[in-house]
Amino acid sequence: MNDSYLEVLQHYEGEPDGVRRGRGAWIWEQKDRISLLKEYRGTVKRLEFEEAVLHALREHGIPHVDQYIRNKEGELVTAGPDGARYVLKEWFSERECSLRDTREILVAAEWIGRLHRAFQEIPWQEAWSMGSTIPPGLSCEMERHNREMKRVRTFIRGKRKKSEFELCVAASFEKFYEQALEAQEGLERLEKKNEKDRLFLCHGDLDQHHLLMKRDEAIFVEFHQMHRGSQMSDLSRFMRKIMEKHSWNEMLGLSLLERYEQENPLSETERNRLYYLLLYPEKYQKQLNYYNNSSKAWIPEKNVEKLKMLTSQQEKRMHFLEKIK
């Protein structure tokens, strides 16, 4: 960006001083607010969709979101002298949610429940029906990943001399692939019920990096993946990060789910959907995908360690999943 950000900030109210780099963008600190300026490559229609939903969230009890700030001309996008397009949005000084702090995890789970309930109260508008707001079914994505997993297994089977990574895959594949198939087939059955009434707005990329903590409140940021779909995709993403970090601690997982349901109780269908999403061996599939897209001549030792860790956590993982099933 060089110094072009200074010219961009002149299009907004306030003096462009106290600017620093952060989160791949520029953070503009003023006496009464903190803003974040970043390059934008999407459409204005997408921004208008996000702006409308973020305004509505504040009206439905979610006070802290990174709302967009319009420039002096009343526009959401500002062109810079370098030809790039930029957006400015409200930002915060609070840090990301700590995955090691049990209290913060439970507070975050409660606020995710509030976020989802607020999303449910926002009426869907047909004007928001863009390609980026209606992703393919979760089972379709799983089916594609499962085909890729089988191709990797077939390739490894055909090798005479196998690396340590390949030997780990050969020894563990059947168990994880069975889970992948069960998850895919389970979600397919749920999707065939065509429960459109359970499709609501979702954050789309909900993890600790997009969830800041403000005492006993949560701040939600980066809604660029927001879409209409199953909110369990949000919850499962957040829970998976926590549970992997805590070796699938059953008591923590159940407490997390209890705090979420205090704000947004789950139906039997949603609980089953959450089970299948967590059952899917996502981290294992990602390791195979990394291998498939690499040179295969050398795989880092850390990837071997990740496979071994996934295998060692299986008993605790499956025990927890049976509890929520």
Query: Is there a single domain that holds both residue 191 and residue 251?
Result: yes
> Which residue stretches of 24-92 are H helix?
44-59
Give the domain extent around 318.
102-324
Domain boundary residue, one of 69, 91, 113: 91
298: in domain: yes
Closest by CA position to 54, among listed 126, 118, 135 = 118
Domain boundary residue, one of 56, 91, 126: 91
Q: Which residues of the chain have pLDDT under 70?
A: 1-2, 16, 131-136, 194-197
CA 265 to CA 100: how far, in whole Å?
25
96: in domain: no
CATH number, position 132: 3.90.1200.10
| Per-residue pLDDT at 325 | 83
Query: Is there a single domain that holds both residue 46 and residue 141?
Result: no
Query: Is there a single domain that holds both residue 196 and residue 303?
Result: yes
CA 73 to CA 28: how far, in whole Å?
19
**Lookup result for tokens 């070796």:** 247
48: in domain: yes
Query: Is there a single domain that holds both residue 179 and residue 128?
Result: yes
| Per-residue pLDDT at 98 | 95
CATH number, position 49: 3.30.200.20
CA 217 to CA 111: how far, in whole Å?
7
- φ and ψ of 72, to 5 deg: -60, -25
Query: Is there a single domain that holds both residue 298 and residue 152?
Result: yes
Percentage, residues of the chain above pLDDT 70: 96
| Per-residue pLDDT at 215 | 86
| Per-residue pLDDT at 197 | 54
97: in domain: no
Domain boundary residue, one of 39, 71, 91: 91
Give the count of domains, the chain: 2
153: in domain: yes
| Per-residue pLDDT at 1 | 47
Query: Is there a single domain that holds both residue 133 and residue 262?
Result: yes
Query: Is there a single domain that holds both residue 302 and residue 196?
Result: yes
The DSSP element (H or E) to which 42 belongs, if any, is: none
CA 105 to CA 112: how far, in whole Å?
10
| Per-residue pLDDT at 222 | 96
Query: Is there a single domain that holds both residue 87 and residue 108?
Result: no
Closest by CA position to 229, among listed 202, 205, 203 = 202
What is the three-class DSSP state of 39?
strand
145: in domain: yes
Query: Is there a single domain that holds both residue 159 and residue 275?
Result: yes
**Amino acid residing at 87:** V
Query: Is there a single domain that holds both residue 78 and residue 224?
Result: no
Query: Is there a single domain that holds both residue 221 and residue 314?
Result: yes
CA 180 to CA 298: how far, in whole Å?
26
Query: Is there a single domain that holds both residue 170 and residue 288?
Result: yes
**Amino acid residing at 131:** G
**Lookup result for tokens 């208008």:** 48
